[in-house]
Chains A and B, each alone.
Chain A
Amino acid sequence: MFVRKRSVLAVIAMALLASPAALARRPPGTRSERAAGLKTPIDEFQRMSPEQQQRALERLPPGQRQKLQERLQRFNRLPPEQRQTLRNLYNRLHELPASQQESVRKAINRFSEQAPERQQALRDELRSLSALPEQDREMRIASREFRNSLSRREQGIVRDMLPVLPSH
């Protein structure tokens, strides 16, 4: 008797929680968008209505506003796969503590200072590490092959980049 009453109450409560008024107060489509990784501030901005975007942009001086709009257009012109890769990297970066985020940013700057062929060697190494399970990455970094193929500076770049590699 009690169990049946509780079930009825639970159904009533769920029905009320799922009412249109209650649904209207939830942020729109967050679950599917999170699943697709569309949760960067850029995606949030692009989901805003034109009026809201305009209001947000009005807070910037005209020159800065123009520059931002150009950067957004440049980002949108990237191939969809590249945009998604960048989103994934961005999201992983922003899941890290602030100090670790800063280490990753500095490592990318050091990466950019390398000669093009060394940048390619680093990309190859990072791609190989991405494919490995996390426990094998440390073994790879400790391996003789790793130490022989990259300079100390390059090894440091790879180590600092590890936290943004995808986890398996």
Chain B
Amino acid sequence: MRCPLECDAGAELIVGYGARTLDPDIAAEFERHIDSCDACCKVAAAQKAVWEALDDAEWRDLPVSPDFDRRLFQRIHSREQRRWWLWRALIPLAACMALAAVILMPQPDRSRAPHAQPPQPALQIEQVEHALDDMDLLNQLGAPI
């Protein structure tokens, strides 16, 4: 038999051996293999120890509340609900804070900058001249139309 630890299906075979769910022929073949393979022998021993612990009578005698499942799922559900409400409250709050930060953010005082240039008026004086040209032209009509 090829060593199960060297192939992909090996873990499944060893777990199946521990759980005693293997086909008897395969289980016998694996037992023959572990006689000559230290690595498989150790893994199989560990698996066996786990299954023996699970088979222990103490586990089976532990009292289980009849509504254990219902209470478990209720707790899982209520925790999920709590998380959802937390997000619902936090998202709008974060949006408002971001909005407030943008609006209330102080503008840099450019007049105090070390090499600040005097601010240029947005209106160009040539625009005033052109407007006066147009006003003079329109005034030639001399009538309120």
Contacts and interface: CB of A to CB of B under 8 A. Distances in A.
Given A9-B96, A41-B131, A126 B123 contact: no
A159 to B, nearest CB: 14
Interface in A69-102: 71-72, 75, 78, 81-82, 85-86, 89-90, 93-94
A109 B137 CA distance: 8
Given A9-B96, A56-B125, A90-B131, A21 B138 contact: no
Contacts of A75: 132, 135
A42 B128 contact: yes
Interface string B105-145: 00100000000001011011101111110111111111111
Interface in A22-58: 22, 25, 40-42, 44-45, 48, 52, 55-57
Interface in A147-167: 164-166
Query: Interface size class for chain A?
Result: 35 or more
A123 B143 contact: yes
A9 B92 contact: yes
A interface, over-half SS: helix
Query: Interface size class for chain B?
Result: 20 to 34
A13 B96 contact: yes
Contacts of B131: 40-42, 90
A43 to B, nearest CB: 9
Given A12-B96, A55-B118, A165-B145, A44 B123 contact: yes
B104 interface: yes
Interface string B86-102: 00000010011001100
Instruction: Report which residue of B100, B124, B138, B145 has the largest number of chain A beta carbons within 10 angstroms of its beta carbon.
Output: B145
Given A41-B123, A55-B118, A111-B141, A16 B128 contact: no
Interface of A: 5, 9, 12-13, 16-17, 19, 21-22, 25, 40-42, 44-45, 48, 52, 55-57, 59-60, 68, 71-72, 75, 78, 81-82, 85-86, 89-90, 93-94, 105, 108-109, 111-112, 119, 123, 126-127, 130, 164-166
Those 3 A-B pairs whose CB atoms lie nearest each other, nearest first: A41-B127, A123-B143, A41-B131
